[in-house]
Amino acid sequence: MTVTSNDRGQQNMWAKEPTMYYENYGMDTPNQVKEKYNGRWAMVGFVSGLVSYLVTGNFFFGIF
């Protein structure tokens, strides 16, 4: 609680305002976005390699 007084000695009591915190919820930095896409594409490659091995018996349709 903040107490102020004027030149005649009268006091006013004001409630103290809470500290405002600002965070970017749901907002990623550009590097975080790149890391997410890199991980997603790595999983796409892994799954496609697994599927091609299960279907043809060769890894990546006989290329490797």
- Plot region of 59 (φ>0 → left; ψ -120 to 50 → alpha; else → beta): beta
Question: Domain for residue 7, yes or no?
Answer: no
Q: Report if residue 6 sits inside a domain.
A: no
pLDDT per residue as tens digits for the range 31-47? 999 999 999 999 999 99
Question: What does the pLDDT look like over 45-64, one tens digit per residue?
Answer: 999 888 888 888 877 666 65
Q: What is the pTM of this model?
A: 0.52
Residue 32 domain-assigned? yes
With respect to residue 22, please indicate whether it lies within any of the assigned structural domains: no
The total number of structural domains in the chain stands at: 1
HSE-up of residue 36 (Cα within 13 Å, Cβ side): 7
